Amino acid sequence: MLNKKFFIENVKTLFYALLIAIFIRSIIIQPFYIPSSSMEPNLLVGDRLFVTKYSYGYSKHSFPFSPPIFKGRLFATNPKRGDVIVFKTPADNRTDYIKRLIGLPGDNIQFINNELYINNNIIFKDLKSKDDQIFCGKRLIDVFTYEEQLDNGKKYKSTYLKNSSYGDTDIFIVPEDHYFFLGDNRDCSKDSRFLSSVGYVHKDNLVGKAQFIFFSSDRSIGSIFSFWKWNRSIRMNRFFKTIN
């Protein structure tokens, strides 16, 4: 009898703990892992970060498995140009992507001679380095590193391939209730420029705003379980780093 009561109490405790975890993950904050190099040099493969779910209000994508419990967004707040945002890709409404918000509804976006234009205004970029190497998948590529500044004063680093870059594009006109995203690693990012796979992102697909890195490790050196390599694999200098 005692064992049965002990078992029931433990099941109840686990159930309540699960409910609390789902509530926190859905309403307040959720951890994410960076699996690709599309946001280098600002986010590295192996970064683990927290995303605030309340920043732009709530949609069905705020909850695990995106249940169709309501339409639209509750307590909606508009994101700001330059925010780093996690969203569900329009292609399947399931896969999480993280990119920088560049285009707001009604904006026109274009690259001309490797320069970014928003509403026909060139985005200022200050060359910071001519000799950087960053990852594109598993390859190291030679890039120019810039500091870009948007019209609202937001500054961040971006990189462009030295030898060949994205060049000229058509004009992207952002539809109503949609957003246009770019990766900071401009020549190694599948983002809103690729209309068949990502394209314009509906406001309901926004999951949350990336706030800070809480842990980071270089898996090319060793897994988190390889404790004898922690002195080289764990990036202590990235712990609790704010995401700009």
Annotation marks residue 55 as catalytic: no
Mean pLDDT of 218-228: 82
Mean pLDDT of 165-170: 78
Residue type for position 136: C
Q: Is the pLDDT of residue 2 over 80?
A: no
pLDDT in tens, 189-214: 999 999 988 999 999 999 999 999 99
Q: Give the confidence band of 8 by pLDDT, cuts at 50, 70, 90.
A: confident
pLDDT in tens, 172-185: 999 999 999 999 99
Annotation marks residue 128 as catalytic: no
- Per the structure, the complete domain to which residue 28 belongs is given by 2-242
As for how many domains the chain has, the answer is: 1
Phi, psi of 39 (to 5 degrees): -110, 15
Whether the CB-CB separation of 90 and 205 falls below 8 Å is answered with: yes
Q: Is the pLDDT of residue 4 over 90?
A: no
CATH code of the domain containing 70: 2.10.109.10
Catalytic residue among 38, 192, 216, 233: 38
Catalytic residue among 53, 60, 88, 99: 99
Q: Whole-structure pTM over 0.85, yes or no?
A: yes
pLDDT for position 165:
60
- % of the chain with per-residue pLDDT over 70: 96
Q: Where are the beta strands (DSSP E) in 14-123?
A: 29-33, 47-52, 84-88, 96-103, 108-112, 115-118, 121-122
Q: Is the pLDDT of residue 58 over 80?
A: yes
